[in-house]
Amino acid sequence: MTLPFRNSRTLSCLSALLGAGFPLIGWYTEMLYHRLPISPGSVLVLHQDMVVVWLLDTAPVVMGLYGYLLGSALEKLGLRLKAQIQSEDKLRLLLNNLGSGVIMINPSGTIQACNRTACAMFGYTEHELLGRNVRVLPPEIAAMHDQ
């Protein structure tokens, strides 16, 4: 199974680097235009009283950092989701290969899952049982569980 956010950390790293590049290119161009030495001190002198410029210049960096953190979280979530899906697949395989019939219901008596043996025992397909109340089973079995 391929998850849509498999490479999200890499993509967010690239976006963070691109985000950092825009202000650097802007500052470099500005230093050339004003014929100032290319240094962090020149940037500070040129923008010392311009809070708006600092906000605009640092916005791509902040957004890139946010993208990186979001990408990291998505990647971790993707790994957990993949592990959960594998665990459910193993459980489904185990249930379907049991010789006994197994039906899982929720507290209101709705059938949530069943194995092949249970379907064969009661003459239903899995699709016919899922989402229905346990009362569709023979009365002696339904009576024990429909509470």
Is 1 a member of any domain? no
Instruction: Judge whether 31 and 42 are in contact, CB under 8 Å.
Output: yes
Is 57 a member of any domain? yes
Mean pLDDT along residues 49-65: 76
pLDDT score at 83: 94
Count Cα atoms within 13 angstroms, Cβ side, for 80.
Answer: 6
Query: Which pTM was predicted?
Result: 0.51
pLDDT score at 3: 53
Is 109 a member of any domain? yes
Distance CA 36, CA 75 (A): 43
User: Residue 98: phi, psi to the nearest 5?
Assistant: -75, 150
Is 3 a member of any domain? no
Asked if 80 and 43 sit in the same domain, the reply is yes
Q: Which two tokens stand for residue 58?
A: 């640092």
Looking at the predicted structure, is the pLDDT value of residue 72 above 70?
A: yes
Domain count along the chain: 2
pLDDT score at 6: 62
Instruction: Judge whether 20 and 65 are in contact, CB under 8 Å.
Output: no
Instruction: Judge whether 101 and 121 are in contact, CB under 8 Å.
Output: yes
Residue 44, judged by CB atoms within 10 A of its CB (0-12, 13-18, 19+), counts as: exposed
Distance CA 42, CA 26 (A): 13
Domain boundary, last residue among 96, 112, 134:
96
Strands 111-114 and 103-105, how do they pair? Answer: antiparallel
Mean pLDDT along residues 96-107: 88
What contacts 36, CB < 8 A, 6 or more positions away? 42, 45, 46
pLDDT digits (tens, 9 = 90+) for 106-138: 988 899 988 999 999 899 998 999 999 988 888
What is the domain range of residue 18? 8-96
Distance CA 138, CA 16 (A): 62
